[in-house]
Amino acid sequence: MQTSNSKGNAKAERRIRRLSLHLTPAAGVAAEQLEMATCGRGKVSVDTASLSRYMRGKHRDIQEKIFAYFNANPRLQTPVEISKDEHRDLCMKQLIGLVREAGIRPLRYVVDDPSKYFAIVEAAGAVDMSLGIKLGVQYSLWGGSVLNLGTKKHKDKYFDGIDNLDYPGCFAMTELHHGSNVQGLQTAATFDPITDEFIIDTPNDGAIKWWIGNAAVHGKFATVFARLKLPTYDTKGVSDMGVHAFIVPIRDMNTHQPLPGIEIHDCGHKVGLNGVDNGALRFRSVRIPRDNLLNRFGDVSRDGKYTSSLPTVNKRFAATLGELVGGRVALAYSSVSVLKVASTIAIRYSLLRQQFGPPNKPEVSILDYQSQQHKLMPMLASTYAFHFATKNLVEKYSQMKKTHDDELVADVHALSAGLKAYITAYTAKSLSICREACGGHGYAAVNRFGILRNDHDIFQTFEGDNTVLLQQVAADLLKQYKGKFKGGTFAVTWNYLRESMNTYLSQPNPVTARWEGEDHLRDPKFQLDAFRYRTSRLLQSVAVRLRKHSKSLGDFGAWNRCLNHLLTLAESHIESVILAKFIEAMESCPDPSSQAALKLVCDLYALDRIWNDIGTYRNVDYVAPNKAKAIHKLSEYLSFQVRNIARELVDAFDLPDQVTRAPIAMRSEAYSQYTQYVGF
Amino acid sequence: MQTSNSKGNAKAERRIRRLSLHLTPAAGVAAEQLEMATCGRGKVSVDTASLSRYMRGKHRDIQEKIFAYFNANPRLQTPVEISKDEHRDLCMKQLIGLVREAGIRPLRYVVDDPSKYFAIVEAAGAVDMSLGIKLGVQYSLWGGSVLNLGTKKHKDKYFDGIDNLDYPGCFAMTELHHGSNVQGLQTAATFDPITDEFIIDTPNDGAIKWWIGNAAVHGKFATVFARLKLPTYDTKGVSDMGVHAFIVPIRDMNTHQPLPGIEIHDCGHKVGLNGVDNGALRFRSVRIPRDNLLNRFGDVSRDGKYTSSLPTVNKRFAATLGELVGGRVALAYSSVSVLKVASTIAIRYSLLRQQFGPPNKPEVSILDYQSQQHKLMPMLASTYAFHFATKNLVEKYSQMKKTHDDELVADVHALSAGLKAYITAYTAKSLSICREACGGHGYAAVNRFGILRNDHDIFQTFEGDNTVLLQQVAADLLKQYKGKFKGGTFAVTWNYLRESMNTYLSQPNPVTARWEGEDHLRDPKFQLDAFRYRTSRLLQSVAVRLRKHSKSLGDFGAWNRCLNHLLTLAESHIESVILAKFIEAMESCPDPSSQAALKLVCDLYALDRIWNDIGTYRNVDYVAPNKAKAIHKLSEYLSFQVRNIARELVDAFDLPDQVTRAPIAMRSEAYSQYTQYVGF
């Protein structure tokens, strides 16, 4: 037995040796050289101040004004534990303080200077995310709907009251039974030609307006989305003109009591954002003047005739919803802020925290563990990537608000949907990873991960459910794809597909599929090509599948049959847009040391994403096994390299301590700030 | 231009057609046949009662007693919103009610009938997870440490007081600076031979006991882990015998004031589990009798001599910690319960909720969308898989507590570490997916996802950080691997590696790598082989890498260099153990219709996991591109099939409505229960 065992062992060891050669192919050569080369090269040095300057937005001044105001008013700072009712009360006080004491008047910026408006939302959200959202409800949703869907008469009547908070308001779109499917809303607004009024009615329980921010406690008005119904003189008696928006006063200006016919209930405790008072509204024959129709895209005359500059219900609906795209831009942008806070806390703590170590040596920082680098370094890289992508989105959106250029409108629409969906989903996952990466101390409420996660969670759902938004991106890609065959052009953002569609229809090149040198893998061209190849391939294949399935299943059935494929396509496209913007930002960076740091981070973002989807690349032999291995090895190595400048990279986010707040993330004396917090 | 465009189009279309053939290879044939075949086959019918009977544990009676008690005592039910202090108070009342009114006396079961004990923890956790954890602190940690680490004198003195709650206690292991690295604890217990006492001291802030459950408010005693220091008569003056456990009274039995030398602070608000009062403890020369050393594995005589049946510090440490493995079993088991609740709520709501649909047709249930099936059906399959895996773990643990068989001890140790880490991480991710899958209504606190996620979150960290536990699994695998070459045997759970090591050292079979028939892909042998192949391959390759790197980096450095690889290995192993248990349970099911349902679910579990890691399989050509595609297609199709019996599958979990509680998950009138809840 012993002999046969030894023999078996020798044989097994030979096999293992052979296998190891197979698994780490030429392994030896390329990889070892890479290590030697880079070890000699040492750490990239980062000039935090210079990098920070490059990152900083142009509205830092107004943000600092906001921080200074709350810093000077401790009574307005949200404590770690607070009841729902106290939180709502405090949140309203914070908003009033911001507007009336600090003199921040956001409404004008909603249309005139969106990047300034988003900077205000970001800073308010950093004080307390409930405040950021409450501010958004008042100015972007309620105010924005009046400005964007109404006409001069509405602006004249409501602007000041909204801006100075005399008119706190709501945005009453969602119903109990209808969230994503806005065209399915049931609330009715029937024109009464006798009194020249609309009668707002909730026809059934499913049509109760639900989740309406500002409704449970503070709102005096609501923009109510309802089916416009006009009397006809045929047998039907009434004609449904589709969903329109109406200003409905909901509470008495003096007594603050709900007005007759309006029943308001409290939606109650939420997972997060409990500073925002979400309510449910039921309307029973509530009469409002005809003037309260927000009539920019469609109007009703005194005698009940409908007029619109837009020809169809669908086009009017699209125009109406199109004006709401700013909310998505704000969410994508704010989600990146949350990710910055979370990754800063997790990374600073991981540098501070020491646990285990080599025998008889001091314990090592947990960020020195490969597993911790794996959790946090690609996340840090993504945070940088998203920063530049949303910065670009905000710029595009601002330009669109000025020029109303059609192509730009389409581009911003799809891009905001895609970035909102992709980034908020990524941030949500990252918040859980950060908590877990900080172990027990990550579970202390004071260290922030709980509240950040609970508050941010709904970013994935409101202003468009992520799964629905990604389908819009996919639909848009398919529209462009089809348009191309009809001689059309691509919108700006998908421009790259024009080229890649031709390039990538051919089989992958078996030679480049094996290239595994570091220079090649870190070449932006290789990275972009890989991202775009995947998108083009997914686009072409899903178009073929849709055509095939629609014959037997119809369009709806075919779409559903390919739904996972479509979502993957949308994500792939968004990832490649993000990478392209990151590369641009890196290449435009004037300071060489900052540029070197950004290059490192950008490479990690790109290669980590490719490795995460390596199955796709392998399946079509775009990447040979040796190259797959080299990509994996290099991304682990880049994580290690980024770890070496992680402190500087989070410092460059330039978050004041009053924004991070977590004791474990303080730049000095973190542990003792923590023990003092609990009373030692 | 037009002509050249048309030509381009024709060419592009030809390319697309060619491409589509390439992408759906023979696609046609196998896949289409599969669809036709299965469409004809229709829906598997499930006898919920029979399946439920098969799933049900043997201690359902005591669980029903617990549910009935709380049902009859509404004052003891935790409201949706409650402050930390009220919650702690209520939680203690719940525990007292359970023990003194409902007559549940858990302590005896901790050692004598663990499966009954875990059933009690599960039911208490379903009432309020804080209650489950508080019960675990009292009985499993405080009580368990006395029973398992102490001797008869301790049992005689403390058993009744612990059991009837006269002696509420704590388990004071973790310190501010040391969580995972228990051997690094700094609290000292120095023997004073003059007074025959130990002196407990906190030498520095980093050694403050932190996160100690039951300490902030209710505890009267604590099992304190401290370095045992014995006086010596050499120049050192004192000898460090390593970490031992001591019973330390912390509050006066009558006044409930902290005893002299003991400083207690409140760790404050946590992300979740706020019904549990975690505190921080600092000791200043606290004297306890020598008898308070829990002396099962090591003792000190009156004259300060140390005796132990175990030869080394490391062995004594391992024996001490080994007794705490029950906590991991309880967490793995309870985590599955949380997953059952969450998936039940998400799936019932997804059946209820309708949104969008084909033109002029009613809206469809959102569970009919492929994307929603993709989110929830593999999760449902995993819930079943984990159910059987943890059931098996509990049985093994119970047996171990009876037989103390060495092999079984080692097996349970690694298996509990692995299942705890794998399952809690999966559940944590799933809770977020469920919330998001339920959209806005998933964000209402009353619908449970927030509190479930916040409470469960720390399951990933306490009783062993998941990343650390997985390393224990990997270390154990490597130990067995090395042992094999020395003629040793594998422990029960890795038995499969004995065979697979020989089988899988050879190159994958290029013929079977292309097999894509449904019968083959649904053959448990193929599935298990694939899982085990991956584990064997990862094990062999990491062993080679460790050996290589240890030469230049030392053992610690080499381990760290391979850390991601090691974690993947551990997860892969655990996945294959889970699959093996699932297949066993499916094959042993006596009722044919339940068996058919379990087979479907088991296949989905297996193929979904293989597809998720398809890159690995492709990289080594274990699976050819056509087979990869077929696996993907079949797992999407199985998700669809499981969706057809999803209602029955969640009903078979047999969760009473008072456990699910979410209005949106009620079996009838869900929407109206929800509107009533908010006051309509």
Query: In this predicted structure, which of A71-80, A644-653, B22-31, B434-443 has the lowest mean pLDDT?
Result: B22-31
In the structure, what pLDDT confidence band is assigned to residue A44 with cuts at 50, 70 and 90?
Answer: confident
CB atoms B268 and A450 under 8 Å = no
B79 at A interface, C-beta within 8 A: no
Q: What are the chain A neighbours of B374 within 8 Å (beta carbons)?
A: 563-564
Per residue in A326-365, pLDDT tens? 999 999 999 999 999 999 999 999 999 999 999 999 999 9
Task: Please give the average per-residue pLDDT across B208-220, as a whole number.
Answer: 98
Report the chain B residue with the minimal C-alpha distance to residue A483.
B9
| Residue-wise pLDDT tens digits, A399-445 | 999 998 988 999 999 999 999 999 999 999 999 999 999 999 999 99
Q: Which residues pair with B209 in a beta bridge?
A: B175, B281
- Separation CA A660–CA A16 (nearest Å): 50
Nearest to B208 among A268, A358, A680 (CB): A680
| Average pLDDT of the residues in B361-370 | 97
Q: Show which of residues 282-321 on chain A sit within 8 Å of chain B, judged by CB atoms.
A: 282
pLDDT of residue A510: 83
Taking residues A95-107, report their average pLDDT: 97
- pLDDT recorded at residue B24: 37
Q: Say if residues A617 and A504 touch (Cβ distance below 8 Å).
A: no
pLDDT of residue A342: 98
What percent of chain B is modeled with pLDDT above 70?
90
Sort out which chain B residues have CB atoms less than 8 A from A431's CB and list them.
none
Q: How far apart are CA B575 and CA A560, in angstroms?
A: 30
With bands split at pLDDT 50, 70 and 90, how would you rate the model's confidence at A677? very high
CB contact residues (below 8 A), chain B span 394-453, against chain A: 425, 428-429, 432, 435-436, 439-440, 442-446, 449-450, 453
pLDDT at A569 over 60: yes
Minimal Cβ distance to A619: which of B81, B505, B628? B628
Q: How confident is the model at residue A508 (pLDDT cuts 50, 70, 90)?
A: confident
Residue A89 in tokens? 């009360």
User: CA-nearest residue of chain B to A542?
Assistant: B20
| Reduced 3-state DSSP string for A207-226 | HCEEEEECCCCCCCEEEEEE
Question: Which letter, b or e, does each residue of A289-328 get, where b requires 16 or more Cβ atoms within 10 Å of its Cβ?
Answer: ebbbbbbbbbbbeeebeeebeeeebeebbebbbebbbbbb
Q: List, for residues B43-92, the tens digit of each pLDDT value.
A: 688 999 999 999 998 899 999 999 999 999 999 999 999 999 999 999 99
**Separation CA A1–CA A97 (nearest Å):** 84
Check residue B493 and give its pLDDT. 62
Give the count of Cβ contacts less than 8 A between chain A and B: 308
Find out whether A174 is annotated in a ligand binding site.
yes
Span A71-75, mean pLDDT? 97
Contact predicate A279/A256, CB 8 Å: no
Which of A211-215, A317-321, A538-542 shows the lowest per-residue confidence on average (mean pLDDT)? A317-321
Q: Is B485 on the interface with A (CB under 8 A)?
A: yes
For A673, the closest chain B residue by CA position comes to: B205
Nearest to B658 by CA among B66, B257, B28: B66
pLDDT tens digit sequence for A517-537: 999 999 999 999 999 999 999
Residues of B identified as active-site = 463
B501–A12 C-beta distance less than 8 A = yes
pLDDT band (50, 70, 90) for residue A28: very low
Q: Is A322 on the interface with B (CB under 8 A)?
A: no
**Residue A267 is nearest to which of B263, B444, B556, comparing CB atoms?**
B444
Measured between CB atoms, does B541 come within 8 Å of chain A? yes
Chain B residues 357-376 with CB within 8 Å of chain A: 357-359, 363, 368-372, 374
Q: Count the neighbouring beta carbons within 10 Å of the beta carbon of residue A188.
A: 19
pLDDT band at B483 (very low <50, low <70, confident <90, very high): confident
| Selected catalytic residue, list A197, A463, A516, A636 | A463
Cα A62 to Cα B119: distance, rounded to the nearest angstrom? 57
Q: Do B12 and A501 touch (CB under 8 A)?
A: yes
From chain A, pick out residues whose CB is under 8 angstroms from the CB of B435: 271, 457
Give Cα separations from B143 to A264, A306, B214 (angstroms). Answer: 51, 77, 13
**A258 contact B CB<8A:** no
Q: Which chain A residues touch B629 with a CB distance below 8 Å?
A: 619
- A contact residues 638-667, partner B, Cβ 8 Å cutoff: none
Alpha helical stretches, state H, B283-324: 313-322
Percent of chain A with pLDDT over 90: 84
Contact yes or no for B671 and A205 at CB 8 A: yes
The H or E element that residue A260 is part of is: none
pLDDT digits (tens, 9 = 90+) for A613-628: 999 999 888 999 999 9
CB A267 to CB B678 under 8 A?
Answer: yes
Beta partners for residue A172, in sequence order: A224
Cβ <8 Å between A436 and B460: yes
CA distance A658 to A456: 19
Task: Indicate yes or no: CB of A371 within 8 angstroms of CB of B461.
Answer: no
Kindly state whether B549 is in contact with chain A, defined as any CB-CB distance less than 8 angstroms. Answer: no
pLDDT at A488 > cutoff 70: no
Instruction: Give which of A603, A618, A405, A605 is closest to A521, Cα–Cα.
Output: A603
Scan residues 500-539 of B and list those with Cβ closer than 8 Å to A: 501-502, 505-506, 537
* CA count, 13 A, side-chain hemisphere, B348: 26
For B680, which residue in chain A has the nearest alpha carbon? Answer: A265
**Looking at residue B114, what is its pLDDT?**
95
> pLDDT tens digit string along B229-280?
999 888 878 999 999 999 999 999 999 999 999 999 999 999 999 999 999 9
Say which DSSP state B509 is in: P
CB atoms B205 and A280 under 8 Å: no
Average pLDDT, chain B: 92
Instruction: Check pLDDT > 50 for residue A20.
Output: no
The better pLDDT of the pair B387, A488 is held by B387
* CA–CA dist B419, B578 (Å, integer): 8
Of chain B residues 3-22, which have a CB less than 8 A from chain A? 5, 9, 12, 15-17, 19-20
Q: Is the model more confident about A508 or about A72?
A: A72
pLDDT, tens digit (0-9, with 9 covering 90-100), for A355-389: 999 999 999 999 999 999 999 999 999 999 999 99
B370, A454: Cβ pair inside 8 Å?
no
Task: Confirm or deny that A78 is annotated as ligand binding.
Answer: no
Q: How confident is the model at residue A267 (pLDDT cuts 50, 70, 90)?
A: very high
A19: nearest CB among B429, B462, B505: B505
Q: Whose CA is closest to B90, among B100, B102, B78, B105?
A: B78
On chain A, the residues whose CB falls within 8 A of the CB of B469 are none
Closest chain A C-alpha to B581 CA, distance in angstroms = 28
b/e burial code for range B178-194 (CB count within 10 A of at least 16 → b): bbbebebbbbbbbbeee
Q: What is the dihedral of CA B381, A569, B621, A623, to 10 degrees?
A: -150
pLDDT of B34: 39
Average pLDDT, stretch A542-555?
95
Q: 3-state class of A454 per DSSP? A: helix
Q: How far is it, in rounded angstroms, from Cα A227 to Cα A229? A: 6
pLDDT band at B39 (very low <50, low <70, confident <90, very high): very low
Which residue matches tokens 């969008």?
B356
β-bridge pairing A238-249 and A262-266: unpaired
Q: Closest residue of B to A449, CA-based?
A: B271
- Confidence band of B401 (pLDDT split at 50, 70, 90): very high
In this complex, the residue of A567, A636, A675 whose CB is nearest that of residue B564 is A636
